[in-house]
Amino acid sequence: MAIQAYEPLREMVSLRDAMNSLFQESFVRPLGLPAEGGSVMLPLDVTEDENEFIIKMSMPGAQPEDVHVTAHGHDLTIRGEIKAEQERKESHWHLRERRFGQFQRTVTLPTMISPDKAQASFENGVLMLVLPKAEEAKPKEIKIGRQAQSQIGSQKQTHNGGQKHSQSRSRTGGQEQAQAEEASQSPSDPTSQASPDAR
């Protein structure tokens, strides 16, 4: 990726071009008609919760059969056409602000969706899409079951029991060693000590 130097003049020229284009579309092109080579821009809203995305798009004058929705990866594309009404030859325009023509909007979603489970409805000129998130995109909680807790507890008991058994064996061994030392220090021949009667 190449890094370009910052040029303030370039942004000023781009802003001037954008303003000129805006004035040309507002005053030169008849209102309601798409720009030459362009398309109608329709507003939409996107909301998200833990399980799904909801997209609402206003398209007054469109028919459901003229709207197509496709999903590819993280991108959702809505395209269609708002057909103009047939004009009567004897009538002339005073105002023409409604928009007609083709439109297309692409929304990049932050996570994958399940297109097979998606739902679409069209009412009062508003398209609503309910897009469930893919299972792998949903947050998952790892639960600790009772079996795992009991295994951890048994391991602790086994460890503590081993320590107690080792300590008990150490104490028993010490007592046996002390008794052996006392026995070795006492006279081994019982006849070496004369009884009072013999004397």
Please tell me the distance from the alpha carbon of residue 186 to that of residue 40, in angstroms, as a whole number: 114
Is it the case that residue 18 has pLDDT exceeding 60?
yes
Nearest to 48, CA basis, from 133, 116, 114, 128? 133
73: left (phi over 0), alpha (psi -120 to 50) or beta: left
Residue (of 78, 84, 86) closest to 100 by Cα position: 84
Q: What does the pLDDT read at residue 173?
A: 59
Amino acid, res. 135:
E
The domain 39-85+96-137: what is its CATH number?
2.60.40.790
Tens digit of each residue's pLDDT (9 = 90 or more) over 109-168: 999 999 999 999 999 999 999 999 998 877 778 888 876 555 656 666 665 655 655 565
Query: Reduced to 3 states, what is the DSSP secondary structure of residue 194?
Result: coil
Distance from C-alpha of 11 to C-alpha of 60, rounded to nearest angstrom = 36
101-108 sheet: strands from edge to edge: 67-72, 75-82, 101-108
- Mean pLDDT, the chain, as a whole number? 73
pLDDT average, residue stretch 3-20: 53
1 pLDDT higher than 80: no
* pLDDT tens, residue by residue, 46-63: 999 999 999 999 999 899
Under the banding of pLDDT at 50, 70 and 90, the label for residue 176 is: low
pLDDT value at position 160?
A: 60
Domain boundaries, the chain: 39-85+96-137, 144-177
